[in-house]
């Protein structure tokens, strides 16, 4: 093997010059390196002018500045042990700013490479217990990466069925299949116990397999196995009974005795058949033991890991089969997307306790992470050619700690996304095409947002290549980052934009639109006040919907906006579908409004400009007048033209200046602004800012309003809450409208009341 590969450094050991704190997990064939770095990147900030001094009409509402911000990132890199020396050399050469003195190490190979590491890096190797690292890592990924766990179904439309992470990840069973098998029951972050194990594991498959077939490598053995017929070697129930053993429900094809035919038949057996028989024997045995332990300890979540499993579809299939057989489908075998990194993550966390990584929420950075199966040559020849056999995972520390919305009816079954594109091939085709088509426009806008910077065009081009590559990967491996959804496609695009320092391409557009809309606010409010109650309620809802037509995220709209900037509020109202709407619960909503006011409404807002100012604020004003408190939840960071929390603060101040109702409400704390904790055009109600959750609970929130396609259609359309909810959006995509049985600019107005317990 070529040990002198040239590393593409900026792609693999990213940000190494700012690295501090290392951990390494050296297994039988793969090395996993972990480090922590601080990433400097640009963020767009808005700052209000001092209006007492500056009152000129033509001045913008607020100023936008781009600032450097430092955030924390975890890097995990996996490569073959063959490259270990090259990698250590590379790290040594690029490690400049670290004060680190030790490197945490785990895994069987840590001992073997101890001297090499100490010599090359001049760091002291500090060994950590393998199993505790594994568990720590497992807890971390389960807690921080949605769609970490999946069920493997070989013959289904999508092989990988990603699971919702239960808000409480404990207790679970981890079956680690290394050379032997360890079965560990994990009850809390620090409480776990090895309740059993078996000596028949990956080492048995490898060792016995090598003896039987004269094939040395583990991967080759698996390849042999995938081509073999175990029925030539195993004695089946039908070989003994001539058919099934009906009274016990044992089918004829069931293996009665592994290798039973080689005991009684005097003939040569093929390598492939023997390898297959061995694979079945070991997988079934492990599955059976896992089931017995799961039953004894009353556990239903069973995760499988270890080198025997690691990304090998063959073993995932046989283990899944075995678990299904022995539990009659009651327990599902679960696998983890980042299973190979658990030890490295755990070792790293042990060394990083002073940074309290577990106090934060972390998010997978799609831009910097290779997807599932990235190094599987069968599945992804493209990726392999690009970066050798290096697989990466990057986790960004989120500014805010994220929790469930307390109003979710059943957090464990909540799925944010309406359509799973991993399973819906037609929808996947459409959306991938859609995002590819929109890419030119995004690049153009990114450049336009930084006209003062000459190298912006070059960065934008790099962004294009990166995102384009991601889309291509997802076309072949829709499962690469968990379930593929419109949300994940949008989020990946945001991550890629950030990667190339385009933190907020819409900042100027948002500024201009906000400014313009504010000028109309008083006029709109005045005309609403002149209507009678019934007329006003309808006008408010129509205003909300019309405002929502202004959305740069939807291609159909951005085309019109770009070609015709005069496309106004009135124009938007004309475009709206007449009642009855595609989903029309307006009458029920009006009936409800005739009743007592809600105590507190939580409003997830959408776009800047006309949407927030002329649509949302008049509506909020009406709620406040009724005596309902309002909490406005907006994005923490920028995404498309969505209004961010910092922008909304300025807008609210300006509106309060013009409108005594808003002013009083702000003063009396009846109108509150909170951050959602998200920087996505969509909304995951299971990952929201902790402060938001507290406010929601304290105020006794009894109405949730979710606005816009991203938050109410692509996500949360089917979300069930414990309180009343209003989901409204204008469908600005003709494909989606058609899917829902309507036309472009159809209106969804969904009002739901939870069934009384």
Partner 1 sequence: MKLKDIRKPAFPWFGMDIGGTLVKLVYFEPKDITAEEEQEEVENLKSIRRYLTSNTAYGKTGVRDVHLELRNLTMCGRRGTLHFIRFPTHAMHRFIQMGRDKNFSSLHTTLCATGGGAYKFENDFRTMADLELLKLDELDCLIQGLLYVDSVGFNGHPECYYFENPSDTQNCVKQPCCLENPFPMLLVNIGSGVSILAVYSKDNYKRVTGTSLGGGTFLGLCCLLTGCETFEEALEMASKGDSTNVDKLVKDIYGGDYQRFGLQGSAVASSFGHMMSKEKRDSISKEDLARATLVTITNNIGSIARMCAVNEKIDRVVFVGNFLRINTVSTKLLAYAMDFWSKGQLRALFLEHEGYFGAVGALLELLKSSEDP
Give contact residues for partner 1 (rule: CB under 8 A): 108, 129, 131-132, 178-180, 182, 194, 196, 198-204, 206-208, 210-212, 216, 233-235, 237, 239-243, 245, 247-248, 255-264, 266, 269, 274, 281, 284-285, 288-289, 292-293, 295-296, 326
* Cα(489)–Cα(596) distance, integer angstroms: 42
Q: Which residue, 260 or 568, is less far from partner 1 as judged by CB? A: 260
Which residue, 322 or 422, has its beta carbon nearer to partner 1? Answer: 322
What's the min distance (Å) between Cβ of 210 and partner 1?
6
- Nearest Cα neighbor of 721 from 751, 679, 692, 691 is 751
Q: For residue 11, which of 90, 64, 108, 80 has the smallest C-alpha distance?
A: 90
Dist CA 704 CA 640 (whole Å): 23
Between 48 and 132, name the residue whose CB sits nearer to partner 1. 132
Judge whether 336 and 342 are in contact, CB under 8 Å: yes
Shortest distance, position 410 Cβ to partner 1, whole Å: 31
3-state secondary structure of 14: coil
Hey, how many other C-beta atoms are within 10 angstroms of the C-beta on 353? Answer: 9
Min separation Cβ 194 and partner 1, Å: 4
How far, in Å, CA of 363 to CA of 399, rounded? 10
Q: What is the DSSP string of 483-550?
A: S--HHHHHHHHHHHHHHTT-S-TTHHHHHHHHHHHHHHHHHHHHHHHTS-HHHHHHHHHHHHHHHTT-
* Distance of closest approach, residue 228 Cβ to partner 1, in angstroms: 14
Rounded to the nearest whole angstrom, what is the least distance from the CB of residue 285 to partner 1 in the complex?
A: 6
What's the CA gap between 476 and 648, in Å, rounded?
40
CA distance 183 to 613: 57
Q: How far is the CB of 12 from partner 1 (least distance, A)?
A: 29
Closer CB to partner 1, residue 5 or residue 292? 292
Q: Which is nearer to partner 1, 206 or 414 (CB)?
A: 206
Helix (H) / strand (E) element for 673: namely strand 671-675
Segment (H or E) for 47: strand 30-48
Closest listed residue to residue 294, CA positions, set 334, 346, 336, 255: 334
CA 464, 467, 472, 475 torsion: positive or negative?
A: negative
Q: What is the CA radius of gyration of the chain?
A: 29
Q: Who's near 459: CB < 8 A, 6+ residues apart?
A: 446, 500, 501, 502
Give yes or no for a contact between 421 and 434, defined as CB atoms under 8 angstroms apart. Answer: no
Q: What angle do CA 422, 428, 434 make, to 5 degrees?
A: 145
Minimum distance from residue 325 beta carbon to partner 1 (Å): 10
CB of 86 to partner 1, least distance (A): 25
- Minimum Å distance from CB 221 to partner 1? 10
**Minimum distance, C-beta of residue 719 to partner 1, in the bound complex (Å):** 40
Classify residue 684 as exposed, middle or buried by CB count within 10 Å of its CB (0-12, 13-18, 19+). buried
Nearer to partner 1, 289 or 393 (CB): 289
The minimum distance between CB 717 and partner 1, in angstroms, equals: 44
Q: Which residues of 216-255 are buried (b: 16+ CB within 10 A; e: fewer)?
A: eebeebbbbbbebebbbbbbbbbbeeeeeeeeeebebebb
Min CB(274)–partner 1 separation in Å:
7
Residue among 143, 127, 88, 108 at smallest CA distance from 27: 108
Cβ distance to partner 1 smaller for residue 54 or 328: 328
Q: 171 preceded by cis ω (within 30°)?
A: yes
Instruction: Judge whether 607 and 547 are in contact, CB under 8 Å.
Output: yes
Based on CB atoms, which residue is closest to partner 1, 100 or 288?
288
Strand order in the sheet with 124-127: 124-127, 102-106, 19-26, 30-48, 62-80, 391-397, 362-364
Strand pairing category for 62-80 and 30-48: antiparallel
Q: Exposed, middle or buried: residue 436 (CB in 10 Å: 0-12, 13-18, 19+)?
A: middle
- End-to-end Cα distance, the chain: 66
CA 629 remoteness from chain centre? 32
Closer Cβ to partner 1, 221 or 393, answer by number: 221
- If the CB atoms of residues 289 and 737 are measured against partner 1, the closer one turns out to be 289
At its nearest, how many Å lie between partner 1 and the CB of residue 346? Answer: 14
Name the residue nearer to partner 1 (CB basis): 346 or 478.
346
Cβ at position 736, least distance to partner 1 in Å: 50
In the complex with partner 1, the residue whose CB is nearer, 137 or 371, is 137
Nearest approach in angstroms of CB 286 to partner 1 is 10
Q: Give the residue with the Cβ less far from partner 1, 67 or 264.
A: 264
Q: At closest approach, how far in Å is the CB of 34 from partner 1?
A: 22
Least CB distance to partner 1 at residue 710 (A): 48
Contact, 679 vs 494, CB < 8 A? yes
Pick 213 or 361: Cβ nearer partner 1 = 213
- Residue closer to partner 1 (CB basis): 287 or 371: 287
Phi-psi region for residue 501, left (φ > 0), alpha (ψ -120 to 50) or beta?
left
Phi, psi angle pair for 41, to nearest 5°: -145, 165
The smaller minimum CB distance to partner 1, of residues 220 and 420, is found at: 220
| Cα distances (Å, whole numbers) of residue 53 to 512, 515, 659 | 21, 18, 21
Kind of pairing, strands 124-127 and 600-604? Answer: unpaired
Nearest CB to partner 1, comparing residues 8 and 207: 207
Question: What are the beta bridge partners of residue 634?
Answer: 675
The token pair at 235 is 């004695």
């Amino acid at each position: 093997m070529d040990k002198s590969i040239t590393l593409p450094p900026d792609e693999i050991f990213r940000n190494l010059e700012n690295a501090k704190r290392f951990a390494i997990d050296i297994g039988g064939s793969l090395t996993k390196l972990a480090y922590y770095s601080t990433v400097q990147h640009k963020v767009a900030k808005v700052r209000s002018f001092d209006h007492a001094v500056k009152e000129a009409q033509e001045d913008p509402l607020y100023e936008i500045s781009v600032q450097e911000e430092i955030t924390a990132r975890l890097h995990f890199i996996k490569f073959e042990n063959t490259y270990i020396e090259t990698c250590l050399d590379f790290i040594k050469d690029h490690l400049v700013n670290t004060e680190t003195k030790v490197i945490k190490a785990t895994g069987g190979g840590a001992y073997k490479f101890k001297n090499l590491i100490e010599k090359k890096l001049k760091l002291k190797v500090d060994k950590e217990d393998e199993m505790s690292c594994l568990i720590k890592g497992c807890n971390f990924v389960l807690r921080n990466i949605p769609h970490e766990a999946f069920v493997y179904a070989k013959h289904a439309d999508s092989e990988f069925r990603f699971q919702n992470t239960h808000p409480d990840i404990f207790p679970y069973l981890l079956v680690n299949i290394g050379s032997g098998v360890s079965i560990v029951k994990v009850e809390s972050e620090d409480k776990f116990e090895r309740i059993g194990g078996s000596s028949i594991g990956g080492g048995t498959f490898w060792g016995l397999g090598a003896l039987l077939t004269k094939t040395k490598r583990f991967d080759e053995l698996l390849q042999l196995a995938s081509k073999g017929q175990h029925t030539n070697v195993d004695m089946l129930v039908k070989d003994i009974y001539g058919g099934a053993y009906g009274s016990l429900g044992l089918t004829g094809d069931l293996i009665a005795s592994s290798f039973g035919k080689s005991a009684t038949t005097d003939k040569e057996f093929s390598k492939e058949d023997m390898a297959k028989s061995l694979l079945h024997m070991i997988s079934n045995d492990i599955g059976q033991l896992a089931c017995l332990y799961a039953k004894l300890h009353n556990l239903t979540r069973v995760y499988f890991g270890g080198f025997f499993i690691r990304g090998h579809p063959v073993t995932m299939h046989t283990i899944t089969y075995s678990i299904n057989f022995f539990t009659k489908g009651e327990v599902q075998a679960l696998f983890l997307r980042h299973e190979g990194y658990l030890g490295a993550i755990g070792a790293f966390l042990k060394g990083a306790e002073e940074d309290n990584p577990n106090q934060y929420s972390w998010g997978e950075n799609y831009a910097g992470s290779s997807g599932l199966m990235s190094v599987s040559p069968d599945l992804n020849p493209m990726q392999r050619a690009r970066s050798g056999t290096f697989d990466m995972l990057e986790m960004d520390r989120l500014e805010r700690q994220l929790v469930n919305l307390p109003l979710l009816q059943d957090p464990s079954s909540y799925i944010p996304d309406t359509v799973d594109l991993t399973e819906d091939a037609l929808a996947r085709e459409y959306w991938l095409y859609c995002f590819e088509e929109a890419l030119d426009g995004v690049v153009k806008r990114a450049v336009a947002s930084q006209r003062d910077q000459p190298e912006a065009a070059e960065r934008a081009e790099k962004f294009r290549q990166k995102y384009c590559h991601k889309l291509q990967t997802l076309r072949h491996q829709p499962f690469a980052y968990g379930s593929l959804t419109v949300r994940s496609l949008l989020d990946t695009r945001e991550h890629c934009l950030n990667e190339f320092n385009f933190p907020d391409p819409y900042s100027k557009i948002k500024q201009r639109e906000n400014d313009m809309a504010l000028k109309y606010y008083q006029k709109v409010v005045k005309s609403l006040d002149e209507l009678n109650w019934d007329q006003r309620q309808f006008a408010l809802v129509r205003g909300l919907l019309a405002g929502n037509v202004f959305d740069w995220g939807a291609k159909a709209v951005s085309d019109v906006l770009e070609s015709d900037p005069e496309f106004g509020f009135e124009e938007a109202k004309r475009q709206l579908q007449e009642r009855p709407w595609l989903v029309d619960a307006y009458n029920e909503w009006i009936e409800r409004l005739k009743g007592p006011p809600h105590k507190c409404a939580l409003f997830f807002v959408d776009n800047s400009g006309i949407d927030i100012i002329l649509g949302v604020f008049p509506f909020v004003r009406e709620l406040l007048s009724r005596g309902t408190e309002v909490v406005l939840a907006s994005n923490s960071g920028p995404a498309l033209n969505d209004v961010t929390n910092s922008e909304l603060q300025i807008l609210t101040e300006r509106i309060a200046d013009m409108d005594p109702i808003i002013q009083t409400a702000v003063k009396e704390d009846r109108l509150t602004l909170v951050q959602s904790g998200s920087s996505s055009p969509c909304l995951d109600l299971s990952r929201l800012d902790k402060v938001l959750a507290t406010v929601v609970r304290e105020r006794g929130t009894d109405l949730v309003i979710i606005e816009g396609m991203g938050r109410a259609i692509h996500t949360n359309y089917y979300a069930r809450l414990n309180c009343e909810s209003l989901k409204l959006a204008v469908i600005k995509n003709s494909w989606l409208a058609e899917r829902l049985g309507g036309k472009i600019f159809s209106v969804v107005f969904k009002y739901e009341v939870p069934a009384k317990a």
